[in-house]
Structure formats: structure tokens, C-alpha cells
């Protein structure tokens, strides 16, 4: 897992007393929950909750071994090895204990204001194809986690960290390390966009998600120098569609402009962006 410069910024700890306040700002439309933004605060200061919904062995070695996955590179290969039922039980145990409510209150107590939650598209289980190997049953733990974050006053960045078909070669963070990543097709973009629409709706209509203000449409996709065809195809065909689908869903839900997902800013009506 590598961080973009923006993500790296979240790790910057600030010691000044200006850190602190997260103002709950209520703005209700008939179909939406009360949104909470980081208004009044000029920076995200946060942590990424790694290896919860996508485990990367290099920073969860003991956990990975305890799940029966030692020697397997990614979630796909271990789920395949264990079989779906045994894998789901092992992952259930992991999700239950890897991040607890006390971790969340501890994060908040260190004057951090944000968490980022990487998830794989497979948390929306109807998007998984029959011949794909991903753990099932994570969604209720995601619901629980965003609820805790919201109770603790943290701002949440939801991150589609792993895309259908894998968005970069040989990366365990995609959930399926493969030399030939297959995200770059209309069918897989469509699955990702279905995920994004669904998550957008969940954020705006499920109260546990009311502190989620940002939706990262994809983590670390393939680089131009690795495969320019694929990288260009994403620029042309994935990002604009992802933007449109998120905005279309918000429009369908009659979400007020100031409540739409956006890049963090203390002046939310200016430059509303989704990255």
C-alpha cells in the first residue's frame, strides 16, 4: 500500500491547539441523513485503517498466518485455498477483532480528525462473479465501523481500494495479484460504477455513514509507464463515468449541493470535487 501525496498529508500530526473541532453541521433534505463535514478545520489529520477489509500480509503477518493464509500472496489465493465457507469464517473473526471501538476512540483522543477506510468492491457481494474468490460477509462490519467513527466525531474517507479484475499488476492491495490486471473493460468499469453508486446512496441515506464525506473512486491504478493503453483508457472511460454516476445518484436522491460528496474544504460551496 502506497500513499498518494494527499494521503501522506493525513499522516501529518499537528501539535498546535488549533486542532480539534469538528463541527456537526446539520443539513437535511427529505431523502438524506444529516451530513457532517470538517467545517472550521483546514486540514485532514488522519490515519488509514489498513489490512482490515483488504489484508496485505507485509503489515499483518501474524494475523495472516492465524487465518491459515501463510504463504499465500493475497486474499484471492487464500480464500481459494481455504474454500469459501472456511474463508468466510476466518475473515469474520478478523473483521470482528482487527479494529475495535476502542481503537477508534483512541484515534479521536489523539486529536486526529479523519480515518480512511479501504474496501474491496466485493463488499457489495452481488458484484462478485461465480469464478472469483473473495471473502464474504464484511458489510456489517463496515456499517459498524463507520457508526463508531461517526460517534467519535471522526470524518471518514471511503476508498474503493480494490477494483473488479484488479487495477494494477501484481499488487496484493487489489485483493488479487495478477500479471495481467483486467479492470480496463467496460464490464469491469460498470461493476466499479455500480459499487460507487451504491456506496453514494448508502452514504446519503444510512445514518451510520453520515460522517463519510469523501469517496475515493479508485486506489493506485495502473501507471502510464506500465501500460499506457490501460492508463489512458481509464482516463477516458472510467473517471468521467464514475463522476457522472455519483452525481447522477445524488441528483436522483435530491441531495443539496452543499451536501454532495467532495474534496475536503472549509468553503464547501466552492470547488466541490470528488477524487
| Helices 186-205/239-252 angle, 10° precision | 30
Is 178 a binding residue for ligand NAG by CB under 6 A? The answer is no
CB nearer ligand NAG, residue 50 or residue 181: 181
Report the residue from 184, 189, 195, 209 that binds ligand NAG according to the rule CB under 6 A.
184
Question: What residue spans of 83-174 are helical by DSSP H?
Answer: 84-98, 101-109, 139-151
Is 216 a binding residue for ligand NAG by CB under 6 A? The answer is no
Rounded Cα gap, residues 248 and 208, in angstroms: 22
Q: How many residues bind ligand NAG (CB under 6 A)?
A: 4
Is 227 a binding residue for ligand NAG by CB under 6 A? The answer is yes
DSSP 5-35: HHHHHHT----STT-----------TTSPPP
CB nearer ligand NAG, residue 232 or residue 244: 232
CB nearer ligand NAG, residue 6 or residue 229: 229
Rounded Cα gap, residues 54 and 86, in angstroms: 17
CA 105 to chain centre: 20
CB nearer ligand NAG, residue 113 or residue 168: 168
Report the residue from 74, 171, 172, 230 that binds ligand NAG according to the rule CB under 6 A.
230
CB nearer ligand NAG, residue 185 or residue 265: 185
Cβ 88 vs Cβ 135: under 8 Å: yes
Report the residue from 12, 229, 251, 254 that binds ligand NAG according to the rule CB under 6 A.
229
Is 57 a binding residue for ligand NAG by CB under 6 A? The answer is no
Is 183 a binding residue for ligand NAG by CB under 6 A? The answer is no
Backbone torsions φ then ψ of 75, nearest 5 degrees: -60, -45
Is 237 a binding residue for ligand NAG by CB under 6 A? The answer is no
**Coil/strand/helix, residue 268:** coil
| Interface ranges with ligand NAG (CB under 6 A) | 184, 227, 229-230
Amino acid at each position: 500500500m502506497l500513499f498518494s501525496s494527499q494521503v501522506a498529508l493525513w499522516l501529518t500530526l499537528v501539535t498546535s491547539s488549533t486542532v480539534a473541532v469538528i463541527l456537526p453541521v446539520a443539513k437535511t433534505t427529505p431523502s438524506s441523513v444529516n451530513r457532517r463535514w470538517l467545517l472550521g478545520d483546514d486540514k485532514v489529520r488522519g490515519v488509514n485503517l489498513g489490512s482490515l477489509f483488504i489484508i496485505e500480509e507485509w503489515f499483518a503477518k501474524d494475523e495472516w498466518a492465524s487465518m491459515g493464509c501463510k504463504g499465500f500472496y493475497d486474499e484471492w489465493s487464500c480464500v481459494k485455498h481455504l474454500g469459501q465457507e472456511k474463508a468466510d469464517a476466518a475473515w469474520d473473526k478478523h473483521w470482528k477483532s482487527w479494529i475495535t471501538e476502542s481503537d477508534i476512540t483512541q484515534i479521536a483522543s489523539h486529536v486526529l480528525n479523519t480515518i480512511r477506510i479501504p474496501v474491496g468492491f466485493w463488499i457489495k457481494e452481488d458484484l462478485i462473479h461465480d469464478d472469483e474468490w473473495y471473502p464474504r460477509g464484511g458489510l456489517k462490519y463496515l456499517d459498524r465501523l463507520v457508526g463508531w467513527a461517526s460517534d467519535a466525531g471522526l470524518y471518514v474517507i471511503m476508498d474503493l481500494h480494490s477494483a473488479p479484475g484488479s487495477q494494477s499488476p501484481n499488487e496484493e492491495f487489489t485483493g488479487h495479484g495478477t500479471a495481467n490486471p483486467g479492470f480496463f473493460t467496460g464490464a469491469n468499469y460498470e461493476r466499479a460504477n455500480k459499487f460507487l453508486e451504491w456506496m453514494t446512496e448508502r452514504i446519503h441515506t444510512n445514518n451510520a455513514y453520515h460522517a463519510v464525506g469523501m469517496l475515493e473512486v479508485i486506489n493506485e491504478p495502473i501507471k502510464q509507464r506500465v501500460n499506457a493503453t490501460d492508463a489512458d483508457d481509464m482516463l477516458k472511460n472510467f473517471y468521467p463515468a464514475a463522476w457522472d454516476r455519483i452525481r447522477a445518484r445524488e441528483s436522483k436522491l435530491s441531495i443539496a449541493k452543499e451536501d454532495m460528496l467532495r474534496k475536503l474544504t472549509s468553503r464547501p460551496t466552492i470547488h466541490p470535487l470528488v477524487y
